[in-house]
Amino acid sequence: MPTPEIMIEPRTAPGTRAPERPAAPMPDRRPVPPAPEKPFEPDAPRRPRRWRRIAGWLLLIVLVWCGWAAFALYDLSSALDNEDAVALERRIDWASVRQGLREDLRVMLGSRRLGENAPASAVEPLATQRAVIELVRSARLTDRGWDAAPAAAEGKTGRGLELLRISYAFFTGGPFAFRVDLRPNSDTVKRPMVLLFRWTGDWQLTRVFLPTDAFGNAPAAPPQQAAPVAPQAAAPAPLPKNAPPGAQKAILYEEDPSTPAGKSYTGWVTWRTEPGTGANAGDNTIVAQVVLPDRPLSMTMTFLRNLDRALPASHTIEVKFDIPPDSSTKGILDVVGVMMKPNEEVSGQQLAGTRVKVSNDFFLMGLSAIELDVQHNMQVLKDRPWLGVPFVYSNNSRAVLSIEKGEAGSKIIADEIARWSAAAKQ
């Protein structure tokens, strides 16, 4: 049972009247009106999810970026059509384009026997701004260059870049390089001419790659039927009889002041693969062992994939000569590069890269890591049946060593390049 609460009121003093307590207000017993009903409103539209907004912005950026590159190509065509000097300066990096053409033309128009580079008198007329404009306009390639005469002289209209000749156009090696393949205006050249645009605040044409089969550098097609051929006075010597089984031919051409045609020595080359070491333990190394017993001279060439990130190269080529100390050549002064040739006598196409002299008679070449150069290097390395190594002796005489791939070398190179490409994608 709860204890009752007791309230004690203070007593009033005698002679005074106690204050009256205020009466409690009476409760309001009036009925409460019902709350008004809210009118029916449809559900407010939901905001799109965040990932949809992000995807929409990314799509817009991609479209603008692709459109920017496509507009640069169109702007170049308009500049060529109108001969707008200001627009041409904006869209063409003249220094880079002209220097690249000079390097290619020196090799492609060079000597067909000793691998000599073409003289400046043959290269410079094709590396002028006017010649570059006509090359990009029409690419009318001939056996010694292209038609550098302005199209206006022939009374033709539509002198800009012929967009219908574009066989491929897309980014290469990342979003800052744009490649455009053009079909040359030639009945003999089948491979495309490549335009490379790079973004450096705006899209500019920075490189023009000439077709690898231009200027007669493509291997001749086999005849449809046998025909009598007159014997040649300076036919290359056959493979030496003491060559090991499976060996291919190697020919050394040297300058000789007493003989205008120079001297030649025939030897052999053997192809093999060896397991890689160090960072390349999972790869095979391609080895070409060249022996020239009549000179005497021997050379070892190795090809391997570059896995050293500090070295800006896709692949490396090591060239090691072995020359007797009493040789009149006094060793090797410099190696010009490595060329891929359709046969043993022509100049061929040089692999893109840089070279350094490691020590006496030992040279290292790093192939370019630019994706377009990598594709070009690997393609000609597989397609061309001969390699050429032009070099300079220490006595300043020049020579070129032509090396045949043959069936064994072609199979080894093709198989290893396929394995390297597969490993690089993993």
- Residue 43: band (very low, low, confident or very high) from pLDDT cuts 50, 70, 90: low
Q: Are residues 144 and 93 in the same domain?
A: yes
Q: Are residues 169 and 305 in the same domain?
A: no
Residue 122, domain member (yes or no): yes
CA–CA distances in Å: residue 239 to residues 73, 247, 268: 52, 9, 7
Instruction: Point out the domain boundary residue: 216, 237, 260.
Output: 216
Instruction: Point out the domain boundary residue: 216, 232, 259.
Output: 216
Helix, strand, coil shares of the chain, percent, nearest 5, are 30, 30, 45
Residue 235, domain member (yes or no): no
Closest CA to 9 of 17, 1, 18: 18
Q: Are residues 329 and 382 in the same domain?
A: yes
Residue 131, domain member (yes or no): yes
Across 303-323, b (16+ Cβ under 10 Å) vs e yields bbbbbeeeeebbbbbbbbbeb
**pLDDT value of residue 273:** 92
Q: Are residues 172 and 277 in the same domain?
A: no
What pLDDT, in 10s, does the model give residues 72-129?
Answer: 988 998 888 888 888 888 999 998 888 888 888 877 776 554 456 677 777 888 888 8
Instruction: Point out the domain boundary residue: 171, 196, 216.
Output: 216
Q: Are residues 75 and 211 in the same domain?
A: yes
89 vs 261, more confident? 89
Q: How far apart are CA 370 and CA 133, in angstroms?
A: 25
Whether the predicted model's global pTM rises above the 0.85 cut? no
Residue 198, domain member (yes or no): yes
Q: Are residues 183 and 76 in the same domain?
A: yes
Residue 352, domain member (yes or no): yes
Closest CA to 390 of 121, 109, 124, 112: 112
Q: Are residues 82 and 209 in the same domain?
A: yes
Residue 84, domain member (yes or no): yes
Least confident piece of the model among 14-28, 167-181, 273-287, 395-409: 14-28
- Residue 283: band (very low, low, confident or very high) from pLDDT cuts 50, 70, 90: confident
Q: Are residues 389 and 252 in the same domain?
A: yes
Q: Are residues 392 and 294 in the same domain?
A: yes
Residue 23, domain member (yes or no): no
With H, G, I as helix, E, B as strand and everything else as coil, classify residue 157.
coil
Q: Are residues 303 and 203 in the same domain?
A: no
Residue 195 β-bridge partners = 180, 208
- Print the domain residue range for 296: 248-425
Does residue 234 surpass a pLDDT of 70? no
| Mean pLDDT for the stretch of residues 340-362 | 81
Read off the tokens for 422. 């597969």
- Residue 325: band (very low, low, confident or very high) from pLDDT cuts 50, 70, 90: confident
Residue 35, domain member (yes or no): no
Tell me how many domains the chain contains.
2
Q: Are residues 211 and 347 in the same domain?
A: no
